[in-house]
Structure 1
Amino acid sequence: MKPLRDSIANAKVRHLHFDQTIKATVSQITFAVPGTVLALVGPTRVGKSTAIRAAAKQVYPRTKDGYIPYVIVDCSRTDAGFMSMRYLTLDLLGQLEHPFYGASSGKSRVSQTETNARLALRRAVKYRETKLIIVDEAHHLLRIKNSGGREAALESLKCLGNETGAVIVLVGSYELLKGCFCSAHFNGRLTLIEFPRYGTSDLQMKQFESILATFDQLLPWAKDNSLLSMSDLVYDGTLGSCGLVTSWVLAALGKMDASGATRLRKEHFRNVRYLQQIDAIASEINYGENVLRPVEKEGHGKDASSTSSTDERGVGRKFRRLKPGRRNPARDSISRPKVVP
């Protein structure tokens, strides 16, 4: 079963959203000025980590001795389940092969203060001529102990880009967006890139089904069973995310093997995916897709000076944003003159 597992896990499929995301990321990195922050966001398991690695290799295909053009570090929750900027800084120093802070230095990571590590990181980035700092699983930056920590963590990374001239790339789920908009100053440096799922239009579904057809050729199906024959079920269970197709196929193969069967059937898929799982993923996707709405073009019927709001019943209403010092026209109330005896 291991060769089958490896063939599924490493399957090469024609994934148009993957190719388009790499192209968009390469272009944004290429045109980014020093100190820019890029955020690559999308649904869970859509392929963001693989895409950012492929994009970085395209921008910086070759290296020379002592030169590290880009580094990639996972944003781990290392402080009693919370995110620690100190550990993130130390991990970056390790990736930059700093002689005093790397894994082979023999120094205790626990004893290093964040201030000293940050100063060392600034020098290491400049010494290694690092142009790109990639923080994967960046939505963990929102899990900071102290109040206001998420904004401080994001601002800290932005400042690192300013200090070193490196481009900062944050890679994470749509949850990351909950922290990205907390600061106007941060947004002034921010460019967003979305790695979307496959939608339900005819063209999108055709592309999604071509991915299913590729997996079908690798799987030991029982007669009259295939991913294509149950494409609606697969779409509902993966919400159009290619990475979730892979994980569901592997889970179904595990179920098949545990039951003693040698052929894959539809029931093997049904018994390893639960509605609660899909609801949680769908909720995050719904949030991200609603947030990522582009600026509307002129002439689309929306007054640029008006803003939408929603009342307690969820009914939308509009109000006009006035210039400072002005108010809506209204008739002043007439009062009776005071009679002086």
Structure 2
Amino acid sequence: MAERNFPEGLLNAPVDKRYNYFKEYPLSHPKFNQAFRDLMTMINISQQDDSVILVYGPTRVGKTFLSKRVLEAINKKYSEEMKIDRCLIPAVRVEAVSPESGNFDWQHFYISALQELSEELIDHKVDPLNQRNQKYINIRSVLESRKTGALNRALENALRYRKTKVLLIDEAHHMAKRKRGIQLSNQMDVLKSLANKTGVPIVLFGTYELQPFKDQSDQLISRGMHKHLSRYRYDIEEEKRNFVLCLLSFQKLLPLKKEPNLIEHYEYFYTRTLGCIGQLKNFFNRTFRSKLEENPNIETLVIEDFYRFAFTTDQINKLIEQIKIGENREKQEISEDVILRRLMIIEDNYIDEDGSEDQAIIIDETKSNVGTEHINKDQIESKPTKEKELPDSKNGKASRGSQSKKSKPFEQKPKRNSTDVPEEFKVKNEL
């Protein structure tokens, strides 16, 4: 029997236990691992200059999972200090809720953050309202007043009192929602002021709607203090292979008597997720839960089980448009850096070997950078066809030839066990 990624005894466990094992399993994969390492480095650096850090990418690419892993890692780092100093909360994670009125609700945000900062006080039996500590504000009276200014000052004091090292804000793109007349820079000025006054760096996690925040003043977002958590692209062989390996990992994680054969339908799963691993996991979660409810003794899953929870044509095309805009903007900014470097070279009278001056690269934004075009309704409703070639899932990177040469996708490597999952796709305690 091929190796499975769950305890064998789980097969006889209740439905909830089997489902929760799969749902909560923290799958590791290359793009996530790199983003985690980069972000931890940024946080360590920004603790010296109170920066605001941006982490953005497509919907359900894994940003929320990343914020949770960072929270766990930082709290673990200071675990010994927390045993000695019961007031210490190294990292705080808050979700920025989408406003109902069209304007971001700062009061709700402050209250949520204060609640996160005071929860641990109860567990450690420390009185947050102890007036002997003059640096700490009476949170209860502030919450009752619901005055934005008072809530802001309460949060500043709470972050100092708790000696917080970083404030993580998930779904931060909701902060960009504002009424007419309110500048985007005003929203970000509030966060920068909070970071400056408390000495606590702030990390914003959100969709591509966060990208305009980078266009604010240099004092607002430091150069290089942002991370693009991108999807796996279908037009890049190595990334396509990694997406399929994630799919393989998920099918091995399902606590079922018989391992389903889903990677032969990798194209179907890609068109429904556009290479976003968070969406792929959500796709599996819904399908697995539904089938367990229908039949607790179900032995395996088949591709037809997933049709019910797949995105519609309109939903997919909307996501494609959002990804196009975000990726084109990211590519354009990289190109602008290239242009600046080349201009510096030109100013130094640099001449190419052929005697011509170096030319700047200009990006044509009219071309799609998504790696997949709009999906037709017929494609969505038609059943997926089996692929003739599957990737070697042991390890082996895709061959890197020149772009002019067409390489066969997922070329077979020397014989290996095709059901093995590479180490980089398995959960790790330390990255």
- Common fold: TM-score over 0.5: yes
Contact kept? 1:131, 1:166, Cα under 8 Å: yes
2: CA distance between counterparts of 1:285 and 1:28?
Answer: 25
For 2:291 and 2:88, the matched residues in 1 are separated by 48
Specify which of 245, 259, 262 is matched with residue 227 of structure 1.
Answer: 262
Q: Does 1:58 align with 2:96?
A: no
For residues 150 and 278 of structure 1, the distance between their equivalents in structure 2, rounded to whole angstroms, comes to: 29
Provide the rounded CA distance (Å) in 2 between the counterparts of 1:156 and 1:171: 17
Whether 1:199 and 2:213 are equivalent positions in the alignment is: no
Q: Is the 8 A contact 1:222 1:265 kept in 2?
A: no
Q: In structure 1, which of residues 237, 261, 280 is the aligned counterpart of residue 318 of structure 2?
A: 280
User: Cα offset for 1:113?
Assistant: 1.1
Q: Check whether the contact 1:37–1:158 (CA below 8 A) recurs between aligned residues.
A: yes
Q: 1:30 aligns with which of 19, 33, 44?
A: 44
Structure 2: give runs of 5+ residues left out of the alignment.
Answer: 1-14, 122-127, 130-135, 346-356, 368-431
Q: Per-residue CA shift, 1:300-325, capped at 9, x if unaligned?
A: 94449xx8899xxx79xxxxxxxxxx
Match of 2:112 among 85, 91, 99: 91
Kindly indicate whether the alpha-carbon contact (under 8 Å) linking 1:41 and 1:176 is maintained by their aligned counterparts in 2.
yes
Q: Give the 5 Å matches for 1:226-305.
A: 226-254=261-289, 256=291, 262=298, 263-273=300-310, 274-293=312-331, 294=334, 295-296=337-338, 297-298=341-342, 301-303=358-360
CA deviation map 1:103-155 (0-9, x unaligned): x9654736221112222222222222222111111001012235325321111
Larger Rg: 1
State the match for 2:383 in structure 1. none
1:319 match: none
Deviates more, 1:260-269 or 1:207-216: 260-269
d(CA) in 1 for partners of 2:144, 2:184: 22
In 1: Cα distance, 2:293 partner to 2:91 partner: 43
Alpha-carbon separation, structure 1, partners of 2:25 and 2:117 = 31
TM-score, length-scaled by structure 1: 0.78
Q: 1:233, CA displacement in angstroms?
A: 0.8
In structure 1, runs of 5+ residues without a counterpart are: 316-341
In 2, the alpha carbon distance for the partners of 1:51 and 1:220 equals 25
Per-residue CA deviation, residues 314-339 of structure 1 (Å, 9 max, x unaligned), is 79xxxxxxxxxxxxxxxxxxxxxxxx
Q: Secondary structure at the match of 2:220?
A: helix
Q: Match of 2:282, as an amino acid? A: S
The answer to whether the 8 A contact 1:199-1:205 is kept is: yes
Query: CA 1:272 to 1:50, structure 2 compared with 1: closer, same or farther past 3 Å?
Result: closer
Q: Matches of residues 1-341 of structure 1 in structure 2 within 5 Å?
A: 1-32=15-46, 33-60=48-75, 61-62=77-78, 63=82, 64-77=85-98, 80=101, 82-97=103-118, 99=128, 106-107=140-141, 109=143, 111-188=145-222, 191-200=225-234, 201-219=236-254, 226-254=261-289, 256=291, 262=298, 263-273=300-310, 274-293=312-331, 294=334, 295-296=337-338, 297-298=341-342, 301-303=358-360
Q: Normalising to structure 2: TM-score of the pair?
A: 0.63
Give identity over the alignment, percent. 24
Change (3 A) 1:142 1:279: same
- C-alpha displacement at 1:228, in angstroms? 0.4
**CA 1:53/1:216 → structure 2, altered by over 3 Å: closer, same or farther?**
closer
CA distance in 1, matches of 2:277, 2:261: 16
Question: Measured at CA, do residues 166 and 12 of structure 1 come closer, stay the same or move farther in structure 2, by a change above 3 Å?
Answer: closer
Aligned residues: 309
Q: Which amino acid aligns with 2:152?
A: R
Cα shift at 1:50: 2.2
**In 2, are the aligned partners of 1:222 and 1:264 still within 8 Å (CA)?**
no
Distance 1:252 1:90, change over 3 A: closer
